[in-house]
Amino acid sequence: MSTIFGSFEAAKSGLSTSLLQLNVTEQNIANANTKGYTRQRAITSAKEPNSSNYLIAPRHSALVGQGVEVTKVTQIRSQYLDAQYRKLSSDYFAGDAVDEAMTYLCGVLNELDEDAGLTVAIKNFYSALNTFTSDPSSREYRTNVQQQAQALTDTFNTIYNEMMSLWEDQNASIKTDVEQINAYAEKIANLNLAIARATQAEAATNDLKDELNLLLDELSEYVDIEFEFKANDTVDVYVGGHLLVSGRYFNKLNVTSKASEVDAITAQIAQLNRRIMAAPEGEKEAVALERSALIEKLADYGFTVQEETGGEEGAVSLKLPNGRYLVNGTQSFSSAQAMSDLLPMDQWVAFSQNTVSIDVAAGDGTEPLDFGGAVKGGRLYGHMRMAGSLDKDLQGIPFYMNELNELARAIAQDINDIHQQGYTYPYDGKESRSGINFFHVASRQDEGGNTIYDYSTLTAGNLRLSDEVKESPFNIAASDKPIDLSAGSTESGNNLNARRLFETLSQNGYYDRLNSIVADLAIETDTVQNIKTTKNTLLISVDTQRQSLSSVSMDEETTNLIMFQQTYNACARVVTTISEMIDTLINRMGV
């Protein structure tokens, strides 16, 4: 290009390019504090001389280009740092969810309080037993044993119920997490569609991509993800190797549990009870048949219920073998709560815990997403672990509930085995007798008429005194032989059985068991917090690198603003100069 008008075009391109660069700089400055905004840069290149586009070109080296052009406006960010950030974010928030639950569990056990906690309750109970051995005939000492035993069972019950409440919160959080993940997946799919349309129309997509990347950051808090950007700037997202988002389509995550399915059935049965009670006589039979079909469906879940009639007219109540109701007239109850002492802990978790699955893209069903398998990070992982893990190496709330249950069973069975061999103190005309349990335990009769005690149904949540001991402290068996108040010197019996009760503390190591539970919790909590702190440090480090690369620097943008302004002014000066040259060429040449 060596013509005067060619020079004018080059200067004009510099003006338009500088103006666009100023607009990009202005956009960066305006969004300096916008969350998720990525700074932008106008990428420029020199225009080639026209002669290079022809087959026959001048054979000399005095050719100059046609100026400058903006090839694209790009974002300054690193996909590598984004991937690192999202992986660390998933790890951190998984640890954060576990840490919150573990810290709460530490507060529930409350072993740092010298005036409360399970250690204090056990200590007070055995201290009362020790005092009791000095005078088994004392009503005061007997009452003290009874009251301290009651305090012990209340402490077990309270701790277990708090653990159950925390478990329910974690189980509910799984559903909340899944709802949030589905919401993010839908938004990402919609953005993919918007970006694809904008790309097809050759429109700007940078602001849409900012929003897309921010959603990926936020999604990584809830579940660990893998992502892949396509040529048209849309993204595919995977969870545990399963496709979550592809283009404008997304696969939903689903939450279900056997307990929720049973609860839905029992709620319908309670509703049908209400309908039967209110229906005219001719319609009751049809509703009752519908209700019977639902009751039969409960057998598919592997447990039996006993039907009870009576009470409210036409209503049927459903009772479990442990005496708890699933339906009582027009009211239904949580099956997870009702079956908490009916199933072994692992079976109860499998029955009650919310499980997660993902739709298959082909529409042929769902694929399960297990924690530690498909789900390895994010809040969802933390809540799934705390609600479902019985593993000692990966402890969850059921692990500690099970440990507490085993301690409660051990104390109850050891005390009962000794207490049944002793004899009560006669009172109110009742004779001294043996075979009485100190703590309540479910029992049944075998074929030979012998009583079989089932300690498997005893939990820290239902531990309580036997009806006899609760009725009167004189039913505490302290003597190893019958007591006859009319037998002279032997009227008060002896304290041998009471001493055996007291000696179970040192012989069977309840403190050691409890200390093991507390130590496991303390060590696991400390480990989780240390890992969380490390992940947080790494997360902050990577985010700092991301921000240094992608965020807006006011100093840099101010420098660019001055530079582009000066470039614009210089190009304008070139245009002015060329204008003067044209004026000389046209109006003054030859004058």
pLDDT digits (tens, 9 = 90+) for 66-114: 788 888 888 888 999 999 999 999 999 999 999 999 999 999 987 766 6
- Whether the predicted pLDDT of 313 surpasses 80: no
Better-predicted residue by pLDDT, 521 or 45: 521
Sorting pLDDT into bands at 50, 70 and 90, what band is 20?
A: confident
Query: Across 5-9, 45-49, 172-176, 455-459, which has the greatest mean pLDDT?
Result: 172-176
Smallest Cα–Cα separation from 401: which of 108, 89, 39, 83? Answer: 108
Find the largest Cα–Cα distance for the chain.
Answer: 154
pTM of the model: 0.87
- Whether the predicted pLDDT of 487 surpasses 80: no
- Whether the predicted pLDDT of 45 surpasses 70: yes
What are the tens digits of pLDDT across the range 339-352? 888 889 999 999 99
- Whether the predicted pLDDT of 132 surpasses 80: yes
Better-predicted residue by pLDDT, 2 or 226: 226
Contact indicator for 470, 394 with CB cutoff of 8 Å: no
Q: What is the average per-residue pLDDT within 233-260?
A: 93
What are the tens digits of pLDDT across the range 151-205? 999 999 999 999 999 999 999 999 999 999 999 999 999 999 999 999 888 888 8
- Whether the predicted pLDDT of 52 surpasses 80: no
Please give the pLDDT value at position 28: 83
Please give the pLDDT value at position 221: 96
Please give the pLDDT value at position 450: 80
Sorting pLDDT into bands at 50, 70 and 90, what band is 361?
A: low
Please give the pLDDT value at position 249: 92
Q: Which long-range contacts link 104-113 to residues 24+ away (Cβ below 8 Å)?
A: 104/166, 105/163, 105/166, 105/397, 105/400, 105/521, 105/525, 106/521, 106/522, 106/525, 108/159, 108/162, 108/163, 108/166, 109/159, 109/517, 109/518, 109/521, 111/518
